[in-house]
Amino acid sequence: MARAKKQGGLGFKDIATFNDALLAKLSWRILENPSCLLARCLLEKYCKEEHFLSIRASKSSSYGWKGKRAFTPEETLLKAIKEAREWVLSQEHTNQPRSTPTRIAQDPALDPNRTCLYTDAAWNPVTKCAGLAWIIDDAGSSSSHSTTESFVVSPLMAEMLALRNAMNSVLRRGISSILVCSDSQTLINLVNSKGRHLEIASPLNDIYLISPLFNSIKFKFIPRLENSRTDSVAKQTLFMYQT
């Protein structure tokens, strides 16, 4: 009767095991939280002279206390843990998931006809100048481009200006499908979520207006190490501008 219905039983709980679990829970509560009201009442009544782990039930003890003391707390807990482990193992055996072939979805970023556009910026917090750079990888060829901007208030603004200039650049070349890669996670998350940011509101709005002009566009975050070429161009551009 206590077997699961899937195993031909009626699905009733095993009363003995269920009782052991309740006794284990009560014993654990007394051991872990002896200051709670229940623990204080039981310990005050039955454990005045002996520790809870060594006390024996007397003839005058209540039925509940006698039941709890049928095993020592250690025996009760170990018994409950053992039976729980057996139950979990039996569930894993009976409910073994069926193996199904895994379908691997093709990443749209792997489209061979899509141009990769890498952007980055270098910013000087003292002069508020920025070097903006982007590299276009298209059909086996690669070209690097750069420019400078003054009065740039933050590195995020510099990254945003680099992205806007890069997107305008590929549009002028008639490229309609691009994968934009940047090592600025804040920038990529902001653009992908169509978020708003007061500090960079103007160039961010320009990017939202430019994006629909492409047949296909995707923004992707990449580690700085994978964007080292663009980073080098941006830093060199800023250095040349300030010397």
* Half-sphere exposure of residue 195: CA atoms within 13 angstroms, side-chain side: 12
| pTM (2 d.p.) | 0.55
Q: Where would I find the beta strands (DSSP E) of the chain?
A: 115-124, 129-138, 141-149, 177-182, 216-221
Task: Render pLDDT for 30-84 as a digit per residue (tens, 0 to 9).
Answer: 666 667 777 777 777 666 666 555 555 555 555 555 555 455 555 555 565 566 5
CATH of 111-242, one of 3.90.1150.10, 3.40.50.10330, 1.10.240.10, 3.30.420.10: 3.30.420.10
> Can you tell me the mean pLDDT for 90-118?
53
Domain residues of the chain, as ranges?
5-94, 111-242
Which are the contacts of 180, defined by CB distance < 8 A and separation ≥ 6?
117, 119, 163, 166, 167, 217, 218, 219, 220
User: Which range, 4-13, 134-143, 161-170, is most confident?
Assistant: 161-170
- What is the structure's pLDDT at 44? 72
Cα separation, 185 vs 180, in Å, equals 12
- What is the structure's pLDDT at 156? 93
Nearest alpha carbon to residue 164 among 112, 119, 103, 102? 119
DSSP assigned state of 222:
-
pLDDT higher than 80, residue 226? yes
DSSP assigned state of 139:
T
Cα separation, 87 vs 68, in Å, equals 22
> Can you tell me the mean pLDDT for 197-225?
91
The pLDDT-based confidence of 109 (bands split at 50, 70, 90) is very low
Cα separation, 150 vs 138, in Å, equals 30
